[in-house]
């Protein structure tokens, strides 16, 4: 039964991240770049200054979260095991060249996420409890013309259903599974089910406090864990600095070469590198998935369109910075050559990450990567609860939200006892389904994105 289910997920993911959909992903990113006149390049400095300029800015009363709290919650939703275990999985299954395609996906993804947030802020509305709601569901139900509203409702429902599944599986059970793997390696005397109960309790303490509680926790947790990870990652890169040029060269050459040609199979490695790079890039920064706007719409920023600038910084920091650090730490470590050669399997990704850090920093490295991975995964679990909750509210109303929160906490425990492989495959499949309505809405409402960019973003200096 599980084998058949896993095969179904693999087949579906093969199409969702196959040649056709990869063209749609990149095509949408290129389209968003063109209609915004390269906003991720032109306004990158403005975006960074906007983010850091609002770190301590008080709320304006327009929404539930301060702009930075919304960014931190969104970052907590995408800075997870995709940045550590996911990157290693891309290296193992797609080779070093997968990292190059993660970068490419991130560059176009900056414009994609910018556009997602822009549209979500444009069509957001308040629910019966006065909470701002938005995202693909509201874009398609409010933005479609009367004759096509039925299609908008179908796409909106599909997005909401799979958003809930992603919040349960991809950004909860998968995260918990990674915590179980890394803690099981570091502290084997404590059984996985006990860790599951501990993290269920911690998750419940935050989630039951609602959006404001999640936002306040993420605004502290996300910056701290990111700075710690980057700081120690930088130390490892400096220690192994002589190996860095070779690692970077390997990333670029592997992206366009064919490791499999030695076996007489032409083209497989390149396709695999692109597919795995984009898949893991999407899993990490979520550009194209459409999840992050669900929390960005709760921002109390005075000019709603300007929240879209946070999406540029979000993707840059998530993929270009953190994922690159992970890749370089692994490739410059003592096991980098074996990883690049494809010696390991995807099921060993957590162990590979731990080994790379331990070989470079000893016991300190093991502690740092364990702590950071646990915090990354936990922050994603609580951050994505807000995404799933918004989708749940859209389908079933505000009165049943407490039921969703309880189920979300239960799924935290499930990740500690279920198979990691099937969870990853299910996660990729559900992420891929979410992308379809989201990319459709971006293409359909490209004119609004262009208009709002010209009106609200271009004048910013």
Low-confidence residues in the chain, pLDDT < 50: 63, 259-271
What pLDDT is stored for residue 262 in this prediction? 35
pLDDT tens sequence across 356-377 = 888 888 888 888 888 888 888 8
N-terminal to C-terminal alpha carbon distance within the chain: 58
The alpha helices in 316-419, defined as continuous H runs, are 324-331, 336-340, 349-361, 363-396, 401-414
CB-based burial label for 224 (10 Å; 0-12, 13-18, 19+): exposed
Using the 8-state DSSP alphabet, how is residue 56 labeled? S
pLDDT tens sequence across 121-139 = 999 988 777 778 888 999 9
Cβ atoms 435, 26 nearer than 8 A: no
Q: How far apart are CA 311 and CA 426, in angstroms?
A: 26
pLDDT tens sequence across 192-237 = 778 778 888 888 888 888 777 887 777 777 778 888 888 998 999 9
Using the 8-state DSSP alphabet, how is residue 134 labeled? -
2-454 to CATH, choices 1.10.3720.10, 1.20.1740.10, 3.30.930.10, 3.40.50.2000: 1.20.1740.10
User: E-strand spans in 232-334?
Assistant: none
Number of residues in the chain: 461
Q: How far apart are CA 151 and CA 145, in angstroms?
A: 10
Cβ atoms 140, 155 nearer than 8 A: yes
Q: How far apart are CA 441 and CA 204, in angstroms?
A: 34
Q: How far is CA 80 from the centre of its chain?
A: 7
Cβ atoms 190, 355 nearer than 8 A: no
What pLDDT is stored for residue 317 in this prediction? 86
Q: How many helices (H) and strands (E) does the chain have?
A: 23, 2
- The bridge status of strand 132-133 relative to strand 125-126 is antiparallel
HSE, side-chain direction, 13 A CA sphere, residue 98: 30
What pLDDT is stored for residue 366 in this prediction? 83
Cβ atoms 433, 170 nearer than 8 A: no
Cβ atoms 283, 432 nearer than 8 A: no
């Amino acid at each position: 039964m599980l084998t058949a289910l896993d095969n179904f997920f693999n087949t579906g993911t093969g199409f969702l991240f196959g040649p056709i959909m990869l063209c749609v992903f990149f095509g949408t990113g290129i389209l968003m770049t063109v209609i915004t006149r390269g906003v991720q390049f032109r306004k990158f400095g403005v975006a960074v200054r906007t983010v850091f300029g609002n770190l301590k800015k008080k709320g304006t009363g327009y929404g539930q979260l301060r702009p930075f709290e919304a960014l931190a919650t969104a970052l907590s939703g995408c800075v997870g095991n995709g940045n550590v275990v996911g990157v290693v999985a891309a290296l193992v299954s797609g080779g070093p060249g997968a990292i190059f395609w993660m970068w490419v996906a991130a560059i176009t993804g900056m414009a994609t996420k910018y556009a997602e947030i822009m549209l979500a802020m444009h069509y957001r509305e308040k629910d019966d409890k006065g909470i701002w709601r938005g995202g693909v569901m509201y874009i398609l139900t409010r933005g479609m013309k009367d004759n096509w509203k039925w299609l908008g409702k179908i796409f909106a429902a599909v997005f909401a259903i799979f958003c809930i599944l992603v919040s349960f599986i991809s950004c909860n059970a998968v995260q918990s599974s990674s915590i179980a793997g890394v803690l099981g390696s570091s502290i084997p005397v404590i059984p996985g089910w006990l860790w599951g109960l501990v993290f269920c309790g911690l998750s419940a303490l935050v989630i039951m406090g609602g959006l404001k509680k999640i936002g306040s926790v993420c605004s502290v947790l996300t910056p701290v864990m990111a700075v710690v990870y980057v700081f120690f990652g930088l130390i490892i890169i400096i220690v192994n600095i002589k190996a860095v040029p070779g690692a970077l060269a390997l990333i670029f050459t592997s992206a366009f070469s064919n490791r499999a040609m030695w076996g007489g199979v032409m083209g497989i490695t390149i396709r695999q590198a692109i597919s795995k790079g984009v898949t893991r890039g999407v899993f990490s920064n979520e550009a194209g998935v459409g999840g992050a706007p669900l929390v960005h719409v709760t921002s109390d920023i005075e000019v709603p369109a300007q929240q879209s600038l946070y999406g540029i910084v979000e993707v840059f920091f998530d993929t270009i910075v953190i994922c690159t650090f992970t890749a370089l730490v692994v490739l410059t470590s003592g096991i980098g050559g074996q990883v690049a050669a494809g010696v390991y399997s995807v099921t060993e990704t957590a162990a590979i990450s731990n080994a790379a850090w331990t070989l470079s920093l000893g016991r300190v490295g093991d502690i740092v990567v364990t702590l950071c991975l646990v915090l990354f995964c936990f922050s994603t679990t609580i951050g994505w609860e807000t995404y799933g909750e918004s989708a749940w509210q859209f389908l079933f109303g505000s009165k049943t939200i407490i039921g969703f929160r309880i189920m979300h906490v239960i799924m935290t425990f499930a990740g500690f006892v279920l198979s990691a492989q099937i969870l990853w495959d299910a996660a990729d499949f559900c992420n891929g389904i979410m992308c379809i309505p989201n990319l459709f809405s971006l293409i359909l409402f490209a004119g609004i994105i262009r208009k709002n960019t010209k009106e609200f973003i271009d004048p910013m200096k």
